[in-house]
Amino acid sequence: MVAMSASPFSAAALRGAVDLSALKNRPAPAATGPGASDTSPSGPGEVVEVTDGTFQQAVATTTSVAAVLVLYSRSIPESAQFIDIVVAAARRTGGRLRVMTADIETELNIRQAFQVQSVPTLFGLVQARPVPLFGGVYPEDEVATLFGQLVDLATQQGVTGTVASTDGPDAAAASEPAEEPLSPHHDAAFTAIEAGDYAAARTAYQDALAENPQDEEARLGLAQIGLLERTDGVDLAATRAAAAERPDDVDAQLLVADLDVLGGHVEDAFTRLVDLVRTTAGADRDRVRTHLLELFEVVGPADERVRRGRTALMSALF
């Protein structure tokens, strides 16, 4: 079975941790690869070519419709040709999976983030979190079986949206509506994030919540913006060294926990802060507790590690 990966910003890749935070704030070059003529990442197309600049926006749509990311290279024809098999297998899910493609020869930040060693390599994307799938070329039936498991996982996470097929016999038979377009507030937030304007993104998400207090995507986005703001420009090595030298320094421990979540080490972050709750008191203890609750929001309430973290926090508090 496929399993959900570490965090909204990173994944346990085929080899080691994958830090997707480097992909933010990149200009979006023109897409020229397979699927480039379909639509933008936020549109209704079933196949979308993503770039370093559009990747974060594309990932955000997976809170509504799950996706498969195909990492390929034009210089290796069989990897590009495999996209057709992936698309055919995805269509067998009844529109439950969008196919996203990225050429590692041109999208160098995506290549670095996923530590791509060979192509094709596939990841699932569900609730803005990566799910490692496989590398190599396989028959359509085997790929479709794995995609069925990915759809099951998406359903468990509450992601049940569909995209309309633009080709083949399923196109006329599609009975479910395509994914709804992004609201103006969410669109403004994504634009601001790509520009590195976190204050504007925060305002956009706050406006979305003011308009609809039940907008969970805006609530999640607001929590993620807070994490990005706190870690922007932070030196990872220096921060870890400072935390190791000053274990009682609450600020240093909170910042390392933020970096752990950003880098995919979610359980490490939760354990660090739960232990800190046990060793602090008064205002410091309340700060740590509040910060941990914010990180729970970043990762998402449906994540099993958040459930375990909440249990551990209750034990530490009482």
What is the reported pLDDT for 182?
A: 64
pLDDT of 293 strictly over 60: yes
CATH class for domain 184-317? Answer: mainly alpha
What is the reported pLDDT for 49?
A: 94
Residue 255 to residue 24: CA distance in whole angstroms: 19
What is the reported pLDDT for 181?
A: 61
Average pLDDT (289-293) is: 94
Strands 17-19 and 66-72: unpaired
Average pLDDT (206-229) is: 87
In this prediction, what percent of the chain has a pLDDT beyond 70? Answer: 80
- Say which range, 71-75, 134-138, 169-173, 182-186, has the weakest mean pLDDT: 169-173
Residue pLDDT, tens place only, 146-171: 999 999 888 888 888 898 765 544 44
What is the reported pLDDT for 41?
A: 42
pLDDT of 297 strictly over 50: yes
What is the reported pLDDT for 311?
A: 93
pLDDT of 27 strictly over 90: no
- Give domain limits for the chain: 10-173, 184-317
Give the closest residue to 76 by CA, choosing from 108, 103, 43, 50. Answer: 103
Residue pLDDT, tens place only, 83-124: 999 999 999 999 999 999 999 999 988 988 888 889 999 999
What is the reported pLDDT for 1?
A: 52
What is the reported pLDDT for 45?
A: 67
What is the reported pLDDT for 167?
A: 53
Q: Which residues pair with 72 in a beta bridge?
A: 103
What is the reported pLDDT for 191?
A: 85
Residue 254 to residue 277: CA distance in whole angstroms: 11
Strands 17-19 and 47-49: unpaired
What is the reported pLDDT for 6?
A: 38
pLDDT of 7 strictly over 90: no
Tell whether the torsion through CA atoms of 180, 185, 190 and 195 is positive or negative. Answer: positive
What is the reported pLDDT for 11?
A: 31
Average pLDDT (245-265) is: 90
The reply to whether CATH 3.20.19.10 applies to domain 10-173 is: no
Return the SS3 of 89.
helix
What is the reported pLDDT for 2?
A: 54
What is the reported pLDDT for 278?
A: 94
pLDDT band per the 50, 70, 90 thresholds, residue 129: confident
Tell whether the torsion through CA atoms of 1, 114, 11 and 157 is positive or negative. Answer: negative
Contact 133, 201 (CB under 8 A): no
In this prediction, what percent of the chain has a pLDDT beyond 90? Answer: 43
Q: What is the mean pLDDT of the chain?
A: 80
